[in-house]
Amino acid sequence: MRKQKKERKQELKLLQEQDQELCEVLCMPHYDIDSTSVPSLDELNRFRQHLATLRETKASRHEDFVNLKRQIILCMEELDHTPDTSFERDVVCEDEDAFCLSLENVATLQKLLRQLEMRKSQNEAVCEGLRAQIRELWDRLQIPEEEREAVAMSMTGSKPKARKALQLEVDRLEELKMQNMKKVIEAIRVEVAQYWDKCFYSQEQRQAFAPYYAEDFTENLLQLHDAEILRLKNYYALHKELFEGVQKWEESWRLFLDFERKASDPSRFTNRGGNLLKEEKQRAKLQKTLPKLEEELKARIEMWEQEQSKEFMVNGQKFMEYVTEQWETHRLDKERAKQERQLKNKKQMETEMLYGSTPRTPSKRRGLVPNTPGKVRKLNTTTMSSATANSSIRPVFGGTLYHSPVSRLPPSGTKPVVTSTCSGKKTPRANRHGANKENLELSGSFLSARTFKGLQI
């Protein structure tokens, strides 16, 4: 019994020493237990469990402390901040094991980190704003790229040193801007016109900004342009999704009109490589997607108009009215083109009925017919022997003869004209004999039909 009592007393003392050490690090009260009496086994077990909990708490708080300290040091380096309070010096300079891991100290660490991160974020925002201002001034003043790169190398990061360098560059560029007022205002006007196009401004809306057309380049005019470009940027950012949707419809509409023009071009059938099939598929796809896109935009615009209590204008008119007008214009253009084709075909038909059609035999196909000298000679001889003076003879050696569709009087003025036919019946001997006696005039000389028979064509 005495041995057990002694062992328990010794174990209690050891546990109390561990408890004291942990409580000092964690800044917690000691475990409440009577040290004068002999503890029971149950009391010792509860004491051990308490110490195990304290060890877990210490490990967790120490891990939090190490992470917080690392982040605090990084923020201080980024801000070029030197610890200026006793607490900050204890965190950064003292040994990690000597720091009191109380809940209060951990909360203070977290608060310090939030303050430093906020300062860092503000500094980064200021530096980024200065960089944006510098880039804008570079563009307006048309600074060479070589000069930009040389300055940009020393303006990275967000430390106070970089922030100071950025501010100096802004001041220098602002001074240059005042010296180059006209160039700067003209550069702003180009940007204003771009945002007018992005926001689908009508001509009346553009003319409402009178300073855009002023020629007196003063600082006041520059301020007016700066205010206008800022307003346009905010307006576009506020309604960016709608403007991008309208822009997508505009691009799809232009592509659709281009396919429509190609579809009415006869030369498209000469294309190779499957382009015609691709264009037809894309045109059919656009015919389906355009109405869907219009319906989506219509719903979004109606919702926007309810929220903003004003109309969404595109080129000075409501979007759906603008879309309807574009479709109607396209329909009228197609109808006008159709009427023009019909009128052209009608005139061509009238011309052919009055004067006859012109042979349109492709030159490539003439070489496909084999030339048989005997048949050609026989055909030409028969044709020329039956031709009279009112026949229209093409060059003798060309091998092709056309008869005039209009009858003319023979040279004698008394005998009727006898024309050859292709019916296969023989011509009466009297007529043929009379035709052989007639002379033909060719190239200013008179030749008889018998002379033609001796020629080889």
What pLDDT, in 10s, does the model give residues 317-369? Answer: 787 888 888 888 888 888 888 888 888 888 888 887 887 766 555 554 444 44
pLDDT interval class at 382 (50, 70, 90): very low
Return the structure tokens found at 78. Answer: 């980024």
The reported pLDDT for the residue numbered 194 is: 93
The two tokens of residue 294 are: 């219009």
CA-derived radius of gyration, the chain: 51
In angstroms, rounded to a whole number, what is the distance separating the alpha carbons of residues 196 and 25? 67
**Per-residue pLDDT tens digits for 110-136:** 888 898 899 899 999 999 999 999 988
Tens of pLDDT, residue by residue over 394-451, are 444 444 444 444 444 444 444 444 444 434 444 444 444 444 444 444 444 444 444 4
126: which strand partners? none
pLDDT of 225 over the 70 cut: yes
Looking at residue 89, its amino acid is: R
Q: Whole-angstrom Cα distance, residue 100 to residue 204?
A: 72
Short-list 243, 245, 248, 252, CA closest to 327: 252
Alpha-helix residue ranges (DSSP H) falling in 264-362: 275-308, 319-355
Question: Of the ranges 34-43, 238-247, 249-258, 433-442, which one carries the lowest mean pLDDT score?
Answer: 433-442
Neighbours of 111 (CB within 10 A): 10
Name the one residue in this structure whose structure tokens are 């060719």: 442
Higher-confidence residue of 435 and 109: namely 109
- Segment 150-196, tens digit of pLDDT: 888 777 888 888 888 899 999 999 888 888 888 889 989 999 999 99
CB half-sphere exposure, 219, CA atoms < 13 A: 6
Q: Which of 18-22, 34-38, 86-90, 367-371 has the weakest average pLDDT?
A: 367-371
At 231 the pLDDT is 93
- Which pLDDT score is estimated for 130? 92
Q: CB 15: neighbour CB atoms within 10 A?
A: 18
pLDDT, position 233? 93
Q: Percent helix, strand and coil across the chain, each rounded to 5?
A: 70, 5, 25
Tens digit of each residue's pLDDT (9 = 90 or more) over 50-92: 888 888 888 888 888 888 888 888 888 888 888 878 777 777 7
Return the structure tokens found at 318: 């409501």
Q: What pLDDT does 219 receive?
A: 84
Tokens of 67: 């992470």
The whole-angstrom separation of Cα 35 and Cα 381 is 149
Q: Give me the pLDDT at residue 244, please.
A: 86
Q: What's the average model confidence in pLDDT over 233-242?
A: 88
With contact defined as beta carbons under 8 Å apart, do 423 and 441 qualify?
A: no
Relative to beta strand 317-318, strand 445-448 is unpaired
